[in-house]
Structure 1
């Protein structure tokens, strides 16, 4: 059995940030990172963003996070199957055991799959570096790729690969692409960018069934139509990987429940990243699946593993880049809420505020407006004292 002072389950961006957070306080304590992936921690957003749009964006310099700089020991291609909290050990799928003094669960999420289809060389539940490498091969060969899902990952992948030689059909349940997030006029403009770049859209559609053959993939949509493609990418979000924690007797709701210092029911076990349900100081109990949270919460949990005992008080943002458009947001961005639009240049540069039925701001969308996420957080902090007519001009590009 190998023992570590700090043992991290999961090898994503949280693991890298946590290892670096540990080293801010403890220069020598042993760190182990057990990951199902075959790559060391890397910048996951690059898989759907910069790697497709910037030819100078190299894996070694820009994507690999070089977590080895922390002195961590990596156990890659390995799954943790059980935690023994009393013995302070974990067991892996190869029959090995690893002891810990402090344990971090950074297990992330598993992509949702399409009905009837299992992951393969033609069916990508897009999440890993291996998925990127395979999709790059397909795009370089000019394949017809069906992308299913009209949210962040789906739209970014569709935009990325159509600019790299692939033929792309994007399937989304939204009647207008982005319609679940953006006001109708903005969604229409967003959708037009995809049309202008040659993406075929199947809006208002869901995949009911898929089948794979040697020659490609066939998708049956809920309107009865059939879509044939060389490959399919599912961008349907993730399910948090909480079963390991639940089996160990830790409290799990939407995610693994942690305190403001990111500790679970067990004072020796912490959780962070996509899998953690935590108290946000502005927005209340949340579970956040975005990179800003992975980096900031990862650093804080690393410090707390090393006995800092500090509250995580960062309210994370999220962002996306497609074609010539970039947006950032804080809080809840959904057209289930009411909106107030404040455009400097109509549908090109501006801010959209999202309000609940009490006219309280719950989210802020910054459309081609950069470096204003702190201003957006301030709006959310002050939301109960703001009326609708006080919002226009509050955040300026």
Structure 2
């Protein structure tokens, strides 16, 4: 029996049901296995008073310190989040908050390893916690945790040190693995494990009926991602501005909303663009099934879940050559990989709209990416990690 302690500052809660939902889905799939037991530590970063009185932090403070979340035992300790520090103290504060809790959990649930689901601050703290508890540590790199925090002059040295010290690392794509190696992390300890997709929730439907249910007629393009500059929504908006009669829906929320709304007005496309805000997964599935194409102009990605979800829905994608793009778009059936310019996105979208492929053929491109396959690969990787650690210590049993 393999016992895993999942550590993730990205994990859904009562007030943020879509926050880190990919970590939740992966953990649920792993926990379904008869040969695995899982506990989850999902820390909450709360700033000192009076910032802790802000509504978003007050809500975090009311979350239970321990709960059953969809069958998972989840612990939610609070750690000190110091604003405007550039993350300098996050890992140290996280380690301090987690140490007594993990020591207590380990007495009742002697976990074999710690699986950190984000490189910063989770992975940095996990390395120190693993050393103290005498268990191996795996750190997963998903994208911005390495691309942003790993290149930040304040946090970058912490990320690199954690990568060089961890017993093993997981990258969500081969491209992500290459980026980690380029930063100076040991490639022989990095395993590329592509994420899974829910093939039941995300599936083709009658596109005309799906559009009608959303009150949309004519060509529809969907973009799924937080409203932040990194996602390049402005590029897609400018592309749509050059495509009369095409509707664009953007599912996501974030600090860039006003800037994007102003750009929509400036481009004169307010009648053809919907900013949907945060959308539940079931509703995202409806929009993906209705869309003729999904476009996401991210500056950086590891391997976006939205890519796989669109393809599983039978909807081709237009994306830049970032992260695991070439692992996902392996033929024109799946979509196009283009430059991050409005002109390139508009040209690719016009081509897909003029020559729509069969939804079944599009879906077939991602049918290997199941959560079952993902959990099987993770289990094999974790088993090997634990066995290798015990052999090094001379205590293999």
| TM-score, length-scaled by structure 1 | 0.30
Higher strand share: 1
Higher helix share: 2
